[in-house]
Structure 1
């Protein structure tokens, strides 16, 4: 994928840098983030080193390998870190990709997730992607509202699809295709 910076009314979505390490660690290790996204893997605590590796190795590597692209979302006015947004599991032959994100606890409830998700979705479809998927844990009402607010269509439930720190959860599957943008 091409390296690109995206701008919305309130956000700038840019590449991760080493300077994002502490903000990523704070947001990703927060219990409310970990409830739905067991990073780095189920049963393992998220460390500052995990955040550092994400910022300087894994996020840039996603674009370089063609798996997807990751953006650090920051407030345009303050440069304060808002969250992580990106694409993964990109299938180039079928031009499909999956969106994933998390938002720092301080930034939740402000519409930032929907704003960033809408910008990324539009960008992907403008690049020629035919389908963007978004999956959210069934009980994660906030993430499901983001998908619906952006215009993703609910397609169904992937049963027992994702491990959590304790147990597993069903995933709600949403999609957005070019005709949905109207």
Structure 2
């Protein structure tokens, strides 16, 4: 069993999702979130978020392949988004990250991804990938700021042109993991 660690840097805290924040999570999603994660025109509901939280908690409890974190503002602890590491059987990982509507453009995703990279290295992940839509310039800047470099362009299952970013998992930046 793996407990959800708390990770911190100067701009963000990553820790466990909390069922008391399901309504805030749903409210933080918008069309952009749904489109980027592939479920638009559908949108998240309290039921689907509750199921996602339960799945993420189960993965932590069972040492599963998915490690999801809530992203919070230091001090207030307000939920501003999240990030996820999907661990491959070969020591690689794929990352994703999101910031809630109204909280974007403040460095939250950049800070969260820096911590996620550090966490991935701490558990032995050797190589990371981020798959970002070609037209998602904000997310591309986040990946590049975290040391990811463009490796290739591919078309995903729904026809979206994506950039495969890669980086070595070592050297994720200063962070405290508790």
**Is the structural similarity TM-score above 0.5?**
yes
How far is 1:26 from its partner? Answer: 1.2
**Are the equivalent residues in 2 in contact too, given 1:10–1:77 (CA < 8 A)?**
no
Partner of 1:38: 38
Structure 2 equivalent of residue 116 of structure 1? 112
Pick one of 48, 73, 86 that aligns with 1:75.
73
Task: Output the CA distance in 1 between the equivalents of 2:133 and 2:36.
Answer: 7
RMSD: 2.0
Structure 1: tracts of 5 or more residues without a match = none
- 1:162–1:80 distance in 2 versus 1, CA, 3 Å: farther
Moved over 4 A (4+): 178-182
1:131 and 2:127 matched? yes
Q: Report if aligned partners of 1:5, 1:14 keep a CA contact under 8 Å in 2.
A: yes
Pairing partner for 1:59 from 50, 56, 60 = 56
- Alignment TM-score, normalising by the size of structure 2: 0.87
Aligned-partner SS, 1:176: strand
- The CA deviation at 1:17 is 1.4
Match status 1:91 vs 2:88: yes
Question: Which deviations, in whole Å up to 9, do the C-alpha atoms of 1:59-117 show, x marking residues without a partner?
Answer: 112332521200001111111111021112x223x211111111101211001101110
SS in 2 for 1:105: coil
Q: What count of residue pairs does the alignment treat as equivalent? A: 171
Give the structure 2 partner of residue 152 of structure 1.
148
